[in-house]
A and B are shown apart, each in its own frame.
Chain A
């Protein structure tokens, strides 16, 4: 295969704009997938991804296409995760491509997520092929959307294919555009091997499977390879490409090609996305640019609802980590919740996905504590400490200064909701940057926001204030000085460590009050009155009371029928499992969860 017949590209699209459907149609049209092997939305292979319509793990599929010019082309379709939490992974996937198809919904136009990823593609000098999808819908307005693409992104869009991926309309036009508008890769197969790792995952039989784009040189079965960032060395067992249904071990990959390597690798942490693969005996001079180690941004405690399931939780996390090097965890003990783990995530979505997978795939009930970001604290001694757990927040008297991470947020919204969004961002201590009209009705609002203001419930709040029409994306900006305090929650006079969190001084009162109210609603009445207090240092800033239970009795005798009493006792037993005893107070799991959603 000649290198100039190769086309490496990704598809950029907002959730639900039709990325997976388009990929399916392309596979069909290129006869890569026989009809009977078609499984809807082939590229997404985890249930959760499918349900949420997002793609978490990048994958690469090879297609062969006979173009109108009569030549056979090899397409490598590299799937990208659609969400900001996986920004780095997206950037590495794009670095493996020469072009990107930008799918825009003809009824909705460009969304924040699409915009961020398109900018990322432009940064990598990728050729952008705009495609307007969903033209079959009555409200489709392809002309307007093309105009928007030209205005916002600055690429020619008027002659872009207008398709319906759902109905299979005009897919050929997309394939021809790929041939004509995306340049072939460059590279010398005789140079020392230099290949980019853009994804990896763990397979129980083969070990870690690494996805690579060979930039220079070639790699074949039996080669001794070195991963330059980690220094790990392996012998290649298999190498080849993935088509729509299976791995094809063809024994060799050359410059310009995209495919996989297996090398009996046990530990996924040795195969980092962005790392460069080279040969041990003929190494390349420099690693490919752009590698960095991804660090968790958001932390939360995860505890088994049933303390006896601690071992099961550890096992679940270990298994998840096999496939997800960006998930970190270490044992943590809470007075309130017992033994659990402090887990680090790339972002909110990542956190939600992990929590959901633990519950769904491992069938564990878990309690999660409020998410926290990493604060940078300079102590009066001059020492700088990073705090990701409110329990470890230093005493106020020991703090010289405190800093918190900020993000740059882009919110794309119909102009009707600009007021609501500004109000929300203002509430969340946002600093307005600018606002750009994409067309008559759609606006890009830019804010700088503290990360800790968006880790709670920002998505939900944004959704409810914009009827779901706004889209949101963010990137890290760095640390800024901030006035932070640790807010403690006390039940019956005792601090509940799992409910403590770090908050900006200005929001402390409001948040303290809200949490106290939520707890009041979620803690059942008990034999005695339970004061719920929010406190900063020793100072109480909010108080609620769960009144004492007066009446809880089965009065009747029921003619010797004691089954109701037994059932009640059984129910109490079950309930007790879901309760945590904090001092003398029984607190149900729901109470811990309720404080995570305050809006």
Chain B
């Protein structure tokens, strides 16, 4: 849902300013596309990502969910919506819950107001905390919060403070991202790299965060994702486990019918066309390289039993990394450690190339 009240200075996802009329046309287009993909697909996760999906009126969300239910076989699905604090109230949360949405992912980012301000967020921590509590009261038992590392002004102490605050809340999942300055963002233009915490500090923060979250019952299951047992994001796991998914909307990505495709960044095209334009990004997904690259992001790691012909060469390359404490090898499975996750690009490259 490519609408935001205000573009965050670090964000390079596609989004436009929210306007109710456009959002209505957009919702219609989403529904047209949902019907167009209709098949015998069984669906067990639905994800409203952003942008800021929570900015849309509940009836728009409802009509989209209805279209999914009418056109697909939906079984006990995990239905997530991304929420930004200050864009919802208790009433809206109750309505969403009632419509079948059962998971919320809340963009808290930090529990320190000065850091939120540095990130250009429109909310303060108290507002974020209230949003989490409202969601819980509205009946959401699966609440995820975003946390950001490497924010301007962030220190080890302030990070620990944020983690402790989050862990006091009734949540079951944390997504923790290290701030990266992307091209075409406000932060990039401002050239703020020098004022960010240095690489070493952010690395220390990451390791400390993994430790702290684990102590609080949030197990790491992916580079940036932590959850209480059983509360892993089923939807995000599909990405790493190389399972199929349909993405709808400008800038969305799909892995469907044996191909990986992407939709161009044009809201106007999306609204005007009968069906969204699909550009093939991968003709033959599911290669070993792809599977390995994605599964190595998971705590569970990459099991090589099915890839007998790769086993020896990869294991040999893995041994030096194991000695450095960057991964563990057991049976036929290679799994990165927290320290390894920090340099996962290099390890994945080292193992696969």
Query: Which residues of A are interface residues toward B (Cβ below 8 A)?
Result: 526-528, 549-563, 565-566, 568-569, 572-573, 576, 584
CB pair B353 A573 closer than 8 Å: yes
B345 touches A550 (CB 8 A): no
* Least Cβ–Cβ distance between A59 and chain B, in angstroms: 50
**Which residues of chain B are within 8 angstroms of A549 by Cβ–Cβ distance?**
343, 346
Residue B337 lies at the interface, judged by CB distance under 8 Å to chain A: no
* B310-344 to A contact mask, C-beta < 8 Å, 1/0: 00000000001100101000000000000001111
- CB pair A560–B320 under 8 Å, yes or no, is no
Kindly list chain B residues whose C-beta atoms are within 8 Å of the C-beta of A572: 345, 349, 353
A559 touches B343 (CB 8 A): no
Instruction: For the complex, give the distance between the alpha carbons of A550 and B293 in Å.
Output: 20
CB neighbours of A556 from chain B (8 A)? 177, 180, 224
The 9 A-B residue pairs with the shortest CB-CB distance, nearest first, are A550-B203, A572-B349, A561-B253, A552-B345, A560-B253, A552-B343, A555-B224, A555-B178, A551-B203
Interface, chain B (partner A; CB < 8 A): 13, 47, 49, 175, 177-178, 180, 199-200, 202-203, 206, 223-225, 236, 238-239, 245, 247, 252-255, 260, 262, 281-282, 289-290, 293-294, 320-321, 324, 326, 341-350, 352-353
Contacts of B255 in A (CB 8 A): 560
B353 contacts A566, C-beta separation under 8 Å: no
A576 to B351 CA separation, bound complex (whole angstroms): 13
A566 touches B290 (CB 8 A): yes
Verify B294–A562 contact, CB threshold 8 A. yes
Instruction: Apart from A576-B349, A576-B353, A584-B320, list 13 A-B contacts with CB within 8 A.
Output: A549-B343, A550-B203, A552-B346, A553-B178, A555-B178, A555-B180, A557-B224, A559-B49, A559-B252, A560-B239, A563-B253, A563-B260, A563-B262
Chain A residue, CB-CB nearest to B177? A555
- Whether B224 pairs with A550 at a CB distance below 8 angstroms is no
CB–CB B346/A527 < 8 A: yes
Cβ-defined contact, B342 with A551, below 8 A: yes
A550 in contact with B348 given A560-B254, A563-B262, A565-B293 (CB within 8 Å): no
The answer to whether B342 and A550 touch across the interface, beta carbons within 8 angstroms, is yes
Contact B349 A527 (CB under 8 A): no
Quote the shortest CB–CB distance from A492 to chain B (angstroms).
12
Measured CB to CB, the closest approach of chain B to A199, in angstroms, equals: 50
| B203 contacts A562, C-beta separation under 8 Å | no
Chain B hits for A563, CB < 8 A = 253, 260, 262, 281
How far, in angstroms, from A199 to B144 measured CA to CA in the complex? Answer: 81
A-B contacts, 27 of them at CB < 8 A, read A527-B321, A527-B343, A550-B199, A550-B342, A551-B206, A553-B344, A554-B345, A555-B177, A556-B180, A557-B175, A557-B225, A557-B236, A559-B247, A559-B253, A560-B245, A560-B247, A560-B253, A560-B254, A560-B255, A562-B260, A566-B282, A566-B290, A568-B349, A569-B293, A569-B349, A572-B349, A584-B320
In the complex, the answer to whether A561 meets B223 with C-beta atoms within 8 Å is no
Instruction: With both chains docked as a complex, state the minimum distance between the C-beta of A546 and any C-beta of chain B, in angstroms.
Output: 14
Residues of A contacting B206 in the complex (Cβ-Cβ under 8 angstroms):
551
Asked if A553 and B343 sit within 8 Å, CB to CB, the answer is yes
A553 close to B253 (CB less than 8 A): no
- CB atoms of B345 and A553 under 8 A apart: yes
Chain A contacts for B47, CB-based, 8 A: 559
A572 CB to closest chain B CB (Å) equals 4
Residues of B within 8 A of A528 (CB): 324
User: In the assembly, what is the distance between CA of A527 and CA of B351, in Å?
Assistant: 13
Q: Is the CB of B247 within 8 A of A550?
A: no
